Amino acid sequence: MSFTRAFTPILRNASRSTAIRAPTRRFLNTETAPVLYSAHAKVVGARTGHIEGDDLNINLTMAKALGGPGDAGKTNPEELFAAGYGACFQSAMNASAMSMKIEMPKKKEDSVVETTVHLVGDMKALDMGIRVEMKVKIKGLSRDQVEKIVAKAEEVCPYSRATKGNVHTKIEIVDV
């Protein structure tokens, strides 16, 4: 039996199931996209230094787990990343819900994103990275609605886009 005769039924069925699809949406070209907002920060002294920005004045400390003093009232890059990612992701959830005509809770405390950033790797070998865990809690919505909102937020959140493929991120939906 020839190759063509043996595979004709398979090829015939394959060609029927092939549909013309709309081109997938490309990610934003961040190099040429119009700037919506810019933030600037000046850091002096690395992990034990100081950060200044237009509306920012923060002292840094090395975390105790990394051998530093972990001074009260001071922060570190991982904590700042956790705060920024969590706030950005929650804003993306709000925008996603609105685009899907799902009403988010009126009270701010009824929609919570808890973000943990882990510094991982080997400091001695200078081979480090971060891993992110998020817990999403939204009162008054079904689990299905929350899952849809989170899935859309993962697509549109600038932090999620920036870390995709680089940072392992686990998002857990917590029933409330």
Mean pLDDT by 10 residues, the chain (176 residues): 51 48 64 96 97 97 95 97 99 98 98 99 97 98 98 98 96 95
Domain CATH number, residue 35: 2.20.25.10
Total count of domains within the chain: 2
| Residue 35: per-residue pLDDT | 97
Residue 8 lies in a domain: no
Backbone angles phi, psi at 89, to 5 degrees: -65, -40
Residue 20 lies in a domain: no
Helix, strand, coil % in the chain, rounded to nearest 5: 40, 25, 35
Residue 170 lies in a domain: yes
Asked if residue 89 and residue 59 are part of one domain, the reply reads no
62, two tokens: 């090395």
The model carries a pTM of 0.83
Asked if residue 63 and residue 47 are part of one domain, the reply reads yes
Asked if residue 87 and residue 36 are part of one domain, the reply reads no
CB 54 within 8 A of CB 41: no
| Residue 24: per-residue pLDDT | 46
166, two tokens: 């680089």
Residue 60 lies in a domain: yes
Residue 40 sits in which domain range? Answer: 25-75
Asked if residue 130 and residue 167 are part of one domain, the reply reads yes
Asked if residue 170 and residue 89 are part of one domain, the reply reads yes
Asked if residue 140 and residue 53 are part of one domain, the reply reads no
Residue 137 lies in a domain: yes
Nearest to 150 by CA among 90, 76, 87: 90
| Residue 176: per-residue pLDDT | 86
Residue 101 lies in a domain: yes
User: Coil, strand or helix: which one is 67?
Assistant: coil
Between CA 70 and CA 164, with CA 116 as vertex, the angle to 5 degrees is: 125
CB 151 within 8 A of CB 136: no
Q: How far apart are CA 9 and CA 12, in angstroms?
A: 5
